[in-house]
Amino acid sequence: MKNGTWLVLFVFFPSILLAQEETIRLNELLNLARERNPKIKAFKDEVEAYVYRIPQEKSLPDPMVGLSFKNMGLNKITIGEEVMSGVGLSFSQALPFPGKLRLKGEIAEKAYERKRQAMNAVELDVLKEVKLSYFELFSLHKSVEILLKQKALLEKALSLTETKYAVGNGVQTDIFKANVEISRMDEMITPMRQMIDSLKAKINLLLDFPPGQPLGIPQEMGIFELKPSLQDIQNLAAENSPMVKEANLMVQEGAKMVDLSRKESYPNFVVEGGWDFKGRLPDMYEVMVGVEIPLYFNSKQAKMLEESLAVLRSSKNSLASTKNDVSFMVTENYLKAKTSENLIQLYKEKIIPQASLAVESSLANYQVNKIDFLALLSDINTLFSYEMVYYKELSGLWSSIAQLEEFSARDIVQWGGKNEDKN
C-alpha cells in the first residue's frame, strides 16, 4: 500500500485502526436528565407545593368559637337566679375588606407561575450542562483518537528512520527525537483520559447514576452551521426565556402587592354572634359587628405601601437588567458560533487537506533524503494539531448553540436521530 493511501485511511477512517467503544446518543441522555435529575425533580416538587398555597391565600381567616361561664360570687351557682349569670356560646368571624382576599390569591398565583418559570430555567440549565459535557467529552475522545493516530504515524516515521540508519543514510539523533515525540503522545493522552473519566462521572451524576457507571463515547452530530439569524434567536429569547418570564412575573406580582398595600389602609371587619343560657330566666342573644381602626397608619400601612412600591421599582429594574443580560448572552454565543462555523469550514476544506498533502509529500521526500527528519516531524505535528483544533471548534459550535437553546427555550437544531448518524 502506498504511503499516501495509508495516510488517507488513517486520517479519515480511524475506525479501521482504532477499536470503537459503545456509543451514546445525546437525545437519550437528555430524556434521562428530564426524568431522573434530582435538581429538576426537587423544583417540580417545590412548584407543586406552591399550588397548594393559592387556595390558602384566598380563604377567610379561621373563625373562633368561645364558651363562657358567668356566675355571681363563688359560694354557689347563681344561673337561673341572677340575670348576669349564665353559660354562653359565641361564634366570631373576621372578614377582610372586600378585594383583599382576591388580591392575596392573585399574588399567590403569580408566585406559583414565577416558581414554575424558575423550574423551567433549572431544567434548561441542567439540559445545557448535559449537552456541554457531552460535547466536551466528544472533543476529548477525538483528541485522544488523533493523538493515537499521530503516535502511529510517528512510529511509522521511526521505522523509516531506523531503516535509513541501518543502511547508513540516517542519523541516530533522529531516532531519539522520534522516540521522544512518541513518548510525548503518551504524556498528552494520560491526562486526557482522566478528564474523560471526570466528564463521564459528571454526566452520570447529572442523570442520577453512580459516577463510575459505564457511559460509552459520544457520536458526531452532523451539525456544522447555525442557520437562524441573530434577530430570530433574539426574538425567541425575548418571548420564551424563562429568566425573562420570571422577572416579568416578579413585576406583575409586585404590582399586585402595591394594590394589596393600598387595600390595607381600609379596615377589616369582625362579625360575632352569641347565646347565653340562663336557666329559669330567658336566654340572652348577642350580635356584634367590629371594625378595625388603622390607628397606626403612618408607621404601618403607609410604610407597607412604600415598601411594596420600592419592591416594584426593583422588580422593574431587574426585568430590564435580565432582558439586557439575555440579549448580550445570545449575541455573544451567536458570534462565537459563527466564528467557530467559519473556522470549521476553513479547517475542513482547506487547512487539513493541505496539511495532509504536506505530510504525504514529506513522507515520500524523507524516504529519498530530500528533507530531514525535523521537517517531517514538523509537518506531522502541524497536521494533527490542526485536526485537534478542528474538533475543538466543532465542539465549541455545538456548545454555543446549546447555550442559545437555553436562553431561547427552544430547540434550534435537532440533536438526536439523523444528525447523530452523520459520522
pLDDT digits over 237-267, tens only? 999 999 999 999 999 999 999 999 999 999 9
Q: Which residues pair with 396 in a beta bridge?
A: none
Answer yes or no: are the C-beta atoms of 123 and 178 closer than 8 Å.
no
| pLDDT over 70 (residue 411) | yes
| Average pLDDT score over residue span 317-339 | 97
Answer yes or no: are the C-beta atoms of 241 and 408 closer than 8 Å.
yes
Confidence of residue 166 (pLDDT cuts 50, 70, 90): confident
**Sign of torsion over alpha carbons 38, 39, 41, 42:** positive
Q: Which residues pair with 118 in a beta bridge?
A: none
pLDDT of residue 3: 43
Percentage with pLDDT > 70 across the chain: 93
Percentage with pLDDT > 90 across the chain: 72
Choose the weakest-confidence range: 43-47, 195-199, 278-282, 383-387. Answer: 278-282
pLDDT of residue 368: 83
pLDDT of residue 63: 95
End-to-end CA distance of the chain: 25
- Give the closest residue to 30 by CA, choosing from 197, 199, 195, 203: 203
Answer yes or no: are the C-beta atoms of 205 and 211 closer than 8 Å.
yes
Tell me the per-residue pLDDT of 49-61, one tens digit each, with 9 for 90 and over.
999 999 999 999 9
- Mean pLDDT (the chain) is 90
- CA-to-CA separations, 173 to 119, 158, 179, 180, in angstroms, rounded: 63, 11, 10, 11
Answer yes or no: are the C-beta atoms of 115 and 245 closer than 8 Å.
no
Tell me the per-residue pLDDT of 167-180, one tens digit each, with 9 for 90 and over.
777 678 888 888 99
* CATH level 2 (architecture), domain 3-68+106-270+298-421: Up-down Bundle (1.20)
| Average pLDDT score over residue span 219-223 | 89
pLDDT of residue 272: 95
- Give the closest residue to 358 by CA, choosing from 344, 343, 371, 369: 371
Helix (H) or strand (E) run with residue 175 in it: helix 172-206
What nine digits make up the cell of 363?
513522507
| pLDDT over 70 (residue 325) | yes
Question: What is the Cα–Cα distance from 90 to 105, expressed in whole angstroms?
Answer: 29
pLDDT of residue 158: 86
| Average pLDDT score over residue span 273-302 | 91
Question: What is the Cα–Cα distance from 167 to 172, expressed in whole angstroms?
Answer: 12
Q: Left if phi > 0, otherwise alpha if psi is -120 to 50, otherwise beta: which for 256?
A: alpha
Answer yes or no: are the C-beta atoms of 237 and 328 closer than 8 Å.
no
- Give the closest residue to 146 by CA, choosing from 360, 352, 347, 385: 385
**Which segments within 111-260 are labelled E, that is strand?**
217-218
pLDDT of residue 6: 40
Question: What is the Cα–Cα distance from 182 to 92, expressed in whole angstroms?
Answer: 90
Burial of 260: CB neighbours in 10 Å, binned 0-12, 13-18, 19+:
buried
Tell me the per-residue pLDDT of 1-50, one tens digit each, with 9 for 90 and over.
444 444 444 444 444 334 456 889 999 999 999 999 999 999 999 999 99
pLDDT of residue 403: 96
pLDDT of residue 21: 65
Question: What is the Cα–Cα distance from 373 to 173, expressed in whole angstroms?
Answer: 10
Query: What are the φ/ψ torsions at residue 390 (nearest 5 degrees)?
Result: -60, -50
Query: What are the φ/ψ torsions at residue 228 (nearest 5 degrees)?
Result: -65, 150
